[in-house]
Structures are given as structure tokens and as C-alpha cells.
Amino acid sequence: MTLAIIVHGGAKSISEDKVTANNAGCQAAVEAGWAVLTSGGCAAEAVEAAIRVLEADQTFNASLGATLNTEGEVELDAAIMEGSSLGWGAIAAVQGVRHPISVARKIMDEKPRLLVARGAERFAADNKAEMCKKEDLIAQEQWEEWKEEQEVLDRPNTVGCVALDANGILAAGTSTGGTTNQQAGRVGDTALVGSGLYADNKLGACSTTGDGESIIPVVLAKTAIDFLSGDRHPDEAAQKAIETLKSKVTGEAGCILLDSQGRVGWAYNSSHMACAYMTTGQDEVAVFTKKEAPALCD
């Protein structure tokens, strides 16, 4: 059976001095998820492991290093979905949770639902999630940029992962700190099944990134999955999904896809998109910040 995993670190503008960090972070995330898959772990475990790496890396807009809202605080959203049962779990607008993706997975395993704010934080604490002071998730660089009202180029968007395990099960996950200076309590596409992520073993799985207010009305993740019909290659399906978004709304977005065969696809309409993947048969992780310029890493 083919194994496959793909991650993204956001559709965004990546300055030259941040290319190495984006490549290294995405590669590390793929390696963490790949280790789970090759040791017999399930797709949801691989997705969680990969996204936890991105959540702990200040390069990305998820948990530590997340953008700050209008109050100068970090609020986090995350979701995960599994393609055989269509099980899912999500949290939104939470503070003081180090790994939102792990809380979303706990919800999925217990009972599908979306929990927000204090209720989600209580659930996380009650289930022994890694908690911290909300201030501990504010990265110094983000704090300085927020105080000085600087334009943020490298962290505007969601991170995510899609994986296919040895049992042919697909899973997708997303995690984000939202948008810079977003209104407190704002929730974007990340935690919404169909918009920020979708997984269905019959077709494929998808994680999205970009402007949530543009992604939601076109239900981007489900739209991309639907384009896999008729054995369309995930790369073509991803591109058609982004073209659909561009034709209907204004905004930047990207998506990563795996189909049930383990084929990889991704597309975006921003200037860059941090991305990496590994499939059975590859000798190295393929890492990108632009689609036409892969960097094969040891």
C-alpha cells in the first residue's frame, strides 16, 4: 500500500531571509508524520504529529509564533478529519493551548463537534492537553511587529497536513492563529469542515490555507475534493479549486491534496506557498516555497 504525506506552512509572501526556515519547518513536519506512517501508525496520528511540529515552530502562524489579534493576544483554531468514518473535531478562538491540533483530535475521537473559546479551553484542560499562560504563545518578533504596526509578510495563514496510511485511510488537519489584527473572537475557515479541510476515502483529502472570508463561501476543501471525481489528478483538482475561488471571490488561498491512490497535488494564488511531501518510492522529502522551485532535502 502506498504511504503519502503532504504539509503546508501557509499560502503567503515569503521573504528571502525566511525561505530556509520555511523549508526546514515543513521538512521536519513531514519527517515526523512519515515516521508515524512507516511505523504502522494511522493517518490521523501522522497528521497530528506533523502539525504539532509546525505549531511549535515560530516560523509559522500556528500556536507559538501565531499572529496577534486587535487585543495583542493569540487566539487559535484547529481541526482534523478522518476519511473512512468522516469523523472530525475542531476548536476555535482558544488561548493558552500549546497544541490545538491535539485537542481537535481528542474531540474527534470522543464525539464530533466544534468547541470554542472558554468551553474549548476547559475541554483541553480536562483532557490533560498541554496548557500554558496565554502570554507564553506570543513570540517576540510577533509582539514587536504588532506594537509597531509593521506589515507582516511571513505569517498570514494556516498550516496543515494530509496523510494516507497503510490501511488506505486518509486524514486532513489544519491549525492557525488567524489573521494579523483580527477582531477578538473572529473564526475563519480553519475549524470548518468543508472549508478548511475535508477527508473522504472514496476520493481524497484536502487542507486549505489563505483568506478565510474568501475560502468559506466557496467551501474550498470540499470543492477541491469534488474535482477529484473521474480519476482527475490531485494537482489538476487543486488548480481547478483555486481557479474557482478566483472566479467567485477576491482573496488569496492555497490547498494541498492527496487522492486515495496517494497521488499528491497542490495549488495557490499567493506569491509563495510553503509545502513539503513524501510518498512511497521517494528517496527524499520534496520541499518548496514556490511550486516551480522544489528543494530536495536529505
CA distances from 92 to 66, 185, 187, 253 (A): 14, 9, 6, 20
User: Residue 210 annotated as binding?
Assistant: yes
State the sign of the Cα–Cα–Cα–Cα dihedral 41, 59, 146, 159.
negative
User: Residue 189 annotated as binding?
Assistant: yes
User: Residue 77 annotated as binding?
Assistant: no
CATH number of 4-297: 3.60.20.30
Is residue 31 within 8 A of residue 82, CB to CB? The reply is no
Is residue 180 within 8 A of residue 66, CB to CB? The reply is no
Indicate which residues carry an active-site annotation: 158
pLDDT tens column, 8-52: 999 988 989 999 999 999 999 999 999 999 999 999 999 999 999
The pLDDT-based confidence of 64 (bands split at 50, 70, 90) is confident
Q: Is 109 helix (H, G, I), strand (E, B) or coil?
A: helix
pLDDT of residue 1: 80
Domain boundaries, the chain: 4-297
The pLDDT-based confidence of 161 (bands split at 50, 70, 90) is very high
Half-sphere exposure of 270 (CA within 13 A, CB side): 26
pLDDT tens column, 107-129: 999 999 999 999 999 999 999 99
* pLDDT at residue 154 greater than cutoff 50: no
